[in-house]
Amino acid sequence: MVLTLHSHTKDMTHLATLLRQPQKLIFDLGNLVNEKYTGSFNATLTAIYYRPYLFTAVQPANQILSITAQKSVKNEPSYFHLPSERAIATPRFPANTIRAVVSISASGNADEEFWYTNVPTEYTQTFPERLLGHGPFREIQVLIDGNATGFVWPFATIFTGGIVPSFWRPIVAPTAFDLPEYEIDISPFLPLLLDESTHTIELVVFTYDSSTGSVSRSLGNDWLVSGRIHVWTDPDPNWKTTGSLSQVQITPPSFSFTPTLDDWNNTLSISLTASRNIHATASITTSTGISTATWLQGLSYSSQMRMQDGGNSLSLTTWTTGSESTVRYGSRSYHYTPFVLNTKFIPERDTFELKADIQLGYNARFDGKWTDGVSLGDSGLMATKLKGEAEWVSNVGGTGTTQQVWAEVKRLRDAQGVGSYGRKVVAADGKVVKDWKAVNNVVDGEDDPEAADEVGKLLEF
């Protein structure tokens, strides 16, 4: 078997400082490999360089520091395996640092691949087939010297064989081929990081511990985690940045947990909600004067899960809503649209059958990344939603129908730009059967009166 991978465009401008000198590039596609599932991969990487002023006045970081396992010298990927390892680093910031943003890559795998369906550990033995523990809540924290400075509640990424394989042929779930990177602005903590002492920065994945009602480092195997610190420096190379951390309000998340197990151990229901806020403010003295650095976050989360038929039937609805804000670089808000999943596992003597229907997606109000170095403001809207239903028989194969709608609106920067883009793709049994798109409100593709309406509704956020 030979698999050819077709690339998609990825803006690398925020990594420009790394591209100005030779680098080692490691391509890694980790998966199950044994005597049955084996083969070769053909991958082509193409880089396109362009003059930034044709698009936007981007000011990427002057330096990038790593939070990695430092394994590239062995020609191995440099992510950490949590919880067997600690994702910790002791970076040395330039003395004239005036802004710093942590970019986090984190992916649940193995027992943590479907973490959003896991049950609290005390319920793992509820049914004859063992359930996976540590609950359905995950929080990724950025710790400085062991203290929280920002947090992420991750999006549920479903890979190409996940839930039911016939969902994803040829449409894959959002982020399956483009894992999200989460960003935390740690600029308010620069007065601490620049005091000439050694400081640690650690990435930790926490779970909800129902025995204590708070977060815990107790975690299943395994999360692949790494990070980068994007550092902006003062125009004066001899400047020494000073400042003071004036306000820090970091409280533990607030949880509401309600488990219900009937007398016959036939139905297990789990209700878990959470909310959290962070506010940090500092005064930073640069060569041009005093500036204010802030980082504000607020998130809300809900998970409603129900298991029946000895654990073979699952119904799940979960959602996350959040906002992030700074003083100088704007704000953004996002919403993981209700993730609705209904699955049924039907065991037979020599085979098994899977049935499922699914709905997931997200909305975001921003245009760009914190690591781009530009002000986000209110310059963009983006949304996508996927839904489908599928069946699979282990020794036969499966069928499935999946459709995804995508919509984006952003501020035009030049006469040739794309101000709005909408697309709807429908696949059935391994083939695309409908493909509709509109660029700047000009429709091209299949005639679908409902598609335009779906695109419009996505952007009602």
- Residue whose pair of structure tokens reads 């040395």 in the numeric block: 92
Mean local confidence (pLDDT), 2-9: 52
Q: What is the pLDDT of residue 378?
A: 55
121 pLDDT band, cuts 50/70/90, is very high
Burial class of 16 by CB neighbour count within 10 A (0 to 12, 13 to 18, 19+): middle
Q: What is the pLDDT of residue 14?
A: 87
Residue 352 phi, psi dihedral angles, 5° rounding? -150, 160
Q: What is the pLDDT of residue 29?
A: 75
Per residue in 204-225, pLDDT (tens digit) is 999 999 999 999 999 999 999 9
Mean local confidence (pLDDT), 442-455: 72
Query: Does the pLDDT at position 1 exceed 50?
Result: no
Per residue in 150-160, pLDDT (tens digit) is 999 999 999 98
User: How many other CB atoms sit within 10 Å of the CB of residue 43?
Assistant: 11
Per residue in 100-112, pLDDT (tens digit) is 999 999 999 999 9
Interatomic CA distance for residues 82 and 112, integer angstroms: 10
Per residue in 61-85, pLDDT (tens digit) is 999 999 999 998 998 899 999 999 9
Smallest Cα–Cα separation from 243: which of 56, 413, 93, 97?
97
Lowest mean pLDDT of 236-245, 376-385, 414-423, name the range. Answer: 414-423
Query: Does the pLDDT at position 48 exceed 70?
Result: yes
Q: What is the pLDDT of residue 447?
A: 63
Q: What is the pLDDT of residue 445?
A: 62
Per residue in 340-370, pLDDT (tens digit) is 999 999 998 889 999 999 999 999 887 678 8
234, 287 Cβ separation under 8 angstroms: yes
Sequence letter at residue 283: S
157, 342 Cβ separation under 8 angstroms: no
Share of the chain above pLDDT 90, in %: 64
Per residue in 12-37, pLDDT (tens digit) is 888 889 888 888 888 887 777 788 77
Q: What is the pLDDT of residue 418?
A: 62
> SS3 helix, strand, coil % of the chain, rounded to 5?
10, 50, 40
Q: What is the pLDDT of residue 65?
A: 97
Query: Does the pLDDT at position 54 exceed 60?
Result: no
Q: What residue ranges do the domains of the chain occupy?
A: 2-458
